[in-house]
Amino acid sequence: MNLLAKLIVIFWILSFLFNYLTDVDPNYIDPTLILSPPDIDNWFGRDDYGRPIFFRLVEGFHNSIEIIFFVTFFTSVIGITLGTLAGYFGGKFDAFISFIINLFMSFPGILLAIAFAAMLPAGKLNLIIALSVGGWVGYARLARGQTLLIKNYDFINAAESMGCSHSWKIIRHILPALRTPLIVEGTYAIAGLIIAEASLSFLGLGIPAPDASWGAMMRDSVSYLLVSPHYSILVGASIMSLVYSINFIGDYLHKYWDIKES
């Protein structure tokens, strides 16, 4: 795996552990240090309220990972279940699920999330709901397409000839065969969720203040771009670095399993 991607992941993990062990309040305001540049005491400087940017970035990382974990869990379970059942049983159920998938795919995912986030009060739970509304579609589409191919393989026909039930064939044979493409799909989906969560917070539809969010921090930093460029640069670099590392992990897994299966 790329060394830079490894270092980025290690950096955020160590930063989170350091913040947990030191227990520094990321919302502590020091009016005398407003927009102060990075120095020995304040590694990333201070924001427009005099709060430590580094520890707020770490808290924002924690909030983003927490939201993305639940969104990924719910969307993957719903999408894989619906897609697998639709591809396996076919018929009217498959036609209905395919119609729903195409209907959701006709709307840009971020606009759908913005629409639902705007209708719900700001908060983590509602942000999870807004991001989950259309997030299951990619998993469902991939699972359905792969199931349509796998259900005609010889080992599935052999299991059917031995009298195995539908649930046995799906759980013991089809789902394990879907593991590789779905894990790769999941890594790319996580990278997209990081940007989507930051975008919603940038628009004021994400995590409410004073809790830290990378999108909200980016929104606040824009007003001081010329006065304190370090603020926006560090927030933007944080978002970019995490998305880059996750995308690279997805590419690595894709190539790894391609070589392993060839």
102-137 pLDDT, tens digit per residue, is 998 888 888 888 888 888 887 888 889 999 988 899
Query: Using omega within 30 degrees of 0 as the cis cutoff, is the peptide bond preceding 31 cis?
Result: no
The tens digit of pLDDT for each residue in 27-62 reads 888 888 888 888 888 888 898 889 999 999 999 998
CA distance 51 to 40: 15
Say whether pTM exceeds 0.95: no
pLDDT of residue 108: 81
Residue 188's alpha-carbon distances to 40, 72, 207, 246, in angstroms, are 36, 11, 23, 7
* First CA to last CA distance, the chain: 20
Residue whose C-alpha is closest to residue 99's, from 133, 140, 148: 140
pLDDT of residue 259: 53
CA distance 170 to 175: 6
Q: What percent of the chain has pLDDT over 70?
A: 97
Q: What percent of the chain has pLDDT over 90?
A: 25
pLDDT of residue 134: 87
What integer is the mean pLDDT of 198-207?
87
**Cβ neighbours, 10 Å, residue 196:** 26
Note the Cα 213 to chain centre separation in Å.
14
- In contact, 72 and 186? CB cutoff 8 Å: yes
The residue that leads in pLDDT, 167 or 98, is: 98
The residue that leads in pLDDT, 262 or 19, is: 19
What integer is the mean pLDDT of 137-157?
87
DSSP secondary structure string for all residues of 113-166: HHHHHHHS-SSHHHHHHHHHTTTHHHHHHHHHHHHHHHTTSHHHHHHHHTT--H
* Domain spanning 3-261, CATH architecture: Orthogonal Bundle (1.10)
- In contact, 60 and 47? CB cutoff 8 Å: no
CA distance 115 to 119: 7
pLDDT classification of 246: cutoffs 50, 70, 90: confident
pLDDT classification of 184: cutoffs 50, 70, 90: confident
Residue 140 has pLDDT above 90, yes or no: yes
Residue 71 has pLDDT above 90, yes or no: yes
Residue type, 115: A
Residue 239 has pLDDT above 80, yes or no: yes
Residue 73 has pLDDT above 80, yes or no: yes
Residue whose C-alpha is closest to residue 75's, from 24, 17, 146, 137: 137
Residue whose C-alpha is closest to residue 237's, from 226, 252, 221, 223: 221
